[in-house]
Amino acid sequence: GEPVCECNTCYTGEDCSLLTPDCPADANSGDPLFLEPYWRRNAARSAVLVAGWHRMSYRSYGDSPISLELERYIRLLHDAVGNAVTDGRFIVFGIGSSQLLNAAVHSLSPDAVNVNSSSSPASVVATVPFYGLYKSQTEFFDSREYEWEGAAANWVNSSASSSSKFVEFVTSPNNPDGLLMKSALDGSSVIHDHAYYWPHYTAIPTPADEEVMTFTASKVSGHAGSRFGWALVKNKSVYQKMLQYLSMNTLSMSVDTQLRMLKIFKVILAELRNEGDIFKFGYKILNRRWTELNNIMSPSRRFSLQKLSPQYCSYFQKIRDPSPAYAWVKCEREEDADCEAVLKEAGIISRAGTAFDAESRYTRLSLIKTNDDFDQLLLKIEALVSKELLSSI
């Protein structure tokens, strides 16, 4: 009969337990639904109820009590996890960290008035493979103040690197390959995107202590749809330029989102280092997924995964095995130059290497979606690898 409620893609039947034959495994997006079961376990205590008359005012940001309280909890969270220094930092809220990335590019670039008279626009760069939004966003907003100049490696040791102003995106750990990264250009202004610098995804060797750092609820709690990100900013004039950008862009940020995030952060903090620790929960899932995927793919000579090593984590206070958000797959055979197409043929939807400015011989698999998504992915990978192994006997 008709399902009682909506089933996840690939499942049908009354209780959604029947796998649809030939349904593809969709491992494209970075939707962080692996954390949904955590919030199901904590459903009542993480709920918010907001009466219709409550907090209607525009005055919902800056010095408002709710923002100050949220800021306090963000500092407490960083201090407790030990992933970022918050002392002497201003905090800017954004509608996702996506909004803050362009706010930061704008704020680190020369003012448009100066660009007209004396200085040239800033060159915005990143190290390949990089998260595709940096490029598409910088090109889309197409300002007089900055220009997208592509791979940072092209500018190392070039004469231009000493004469012009560089704004560099450094993603650590990196999306897509999960490696901890450092700036490639001496003297560049760096936006450190620490979306994944949390113990579910990576070892935390030391607290990040940089000039401009961005974080997002999307990856720490998994509330991607709430659209909440924040930046820790050292320099006051950069901070003020970011605030002005946000005020021009959206006036201020949703107070409903702030209320919800406050509740979520309170639950995370209350459970830290207890049985209900969200980082232990997230780490366990992602480490298991990474291990299972490696076990299945390691006999393959056709496909390989990025190499990640165990590393000391100051949060877990031990050496821990990897648990990346994504698998960065390389197709090793000459004829498999389009790796995304090779996987697609096998019923696996991935994100092509070209979306990260890398070769099409690479493609990315998301490991942070639901259990059903991941199970489906493993089935398809397993079938693909056994086909290869059988044909090589």
**At its nearest, how many Å lie between ligand PMP and the CB of residue 134?**
8
Does position 60 bind ligand PMP by CB under 6 A? no
Does position 176 bind ligand PMP by CB under 6 A? no
**At its nearest, how many Å lie between ligand PMP and the CB of residue 173?**
9
Within positions 27 to 46, which residues make up the interface with ligand PMP, using CB under 6 A? 30
Task: Tell me the window of 12-20, 40-48, 94-102, 376-384 that interacts with ligand PMP (CB under 6 A).
Answer: 94-102
Please pick, from the candidates 86, 107, 123, 171, the single residue that binds ligand PMP as defined by CB under 6 A.
171
Does position 102 bind ligand PMP by CB under 6 A? no
Does position 195 bind ligand PMP by CB under 6 A? yes
Task: Tell me the window of 18-26, 91-99, 111-119, 281-289 that interacts with ligand PMP (CB under 6 A).
Answer: 91-99
Task: Tell me the window of 92-100, 140-148, 236-244, 368-376 that interacts with ligand PMP (CB under 6 A).
Answer: 92-100
Please pick, from the candidates 60, 67, 83, 97, the single residue that binds ligand PMP as defined by CB under 6 A.
97
Q: Which residue's CB is nearer to ligand PMP, number 110 or number 196?
A: 196
Please pick, from the candidates 145, 193, 210, 373, the single residue that binds ligand PMP as defined by CB under 6 A.
193
Task: Tell me the window of 93-101, 104-112, 138-146, 264-272 that interacts with ligand PMP (CB under 6 A).
Answer: 93-101
Question: SS3 string of the chain?
Answer: CCCCCCCCCCEECCCCCEECCCCCEECCCCCCHHHHHHHHHCCCCCCCCCCCCCCCCCCCCCCCHHHHHHHHHHHHHHHHHCCECCCCCEEEEECHHHHHHHHHHHHHCCCHHHHHHCCCCEEEEECCCCCCHHHHHHHHHCCCCEEEEEEHHHHCCCCHHHHCCEEEEEECCCCCCCCCCCCCCCCCEEEEECCCCCCCCCCCCCCECCCEEEEEHHHHCCCHHHCCEEEEECCHHHHHHHHHHHHHHHCCCCHHHHHHHHHHHHHHHHHCCCCCCHHHHHHHHHHHHHHHHHHHHCCCCCEEECCCCCEEECCCCEEECCCCCEEEEEECCCCCCCHHHHHHHCCEECEEHHHHCCCCCEEEEECCCCHHHHHHHHHHHHHHHHHHHHHCC
Does position 356 bind ligand PMP by CB under 6 A? no
Please pick, from the candidates 74, 224, 232, 342, the single residue that binds ligand PMP as defined by CB under 6 A.
224
212 neighbors 192 (Cβ within 8 angstroms): yes
Does position 175 bind ligand PMP by CB under 6 A? yes
Q: Which residue's CB is nearer to ligand PMP, number 98 or number 304?
A: 98
Does position 216 bind ligand PMP by CB under 6 A? yes
Does position 232 bind ligand PMP by CB under 6 A? no
Q: Which residue's CB is nearer to ligand PMP, number 73 or number 215?
A: 215
CA angle 253, 370, 385 (to 5 degrees): 135
**At its nearest, how many Å lie between ligand PMP and the CB of residue 342?**
24
Does position 138 bind ligand PMP by CB under 6 A? no
CA distance linking residue 86 with residue 76, whole number of Å: 9
Q: Catalog residues that contact ligand PMP under the rule CB under 6 A.
A: 30, 96-98, 131, 171, 175, 193, 195, 216, 218, 224, 229
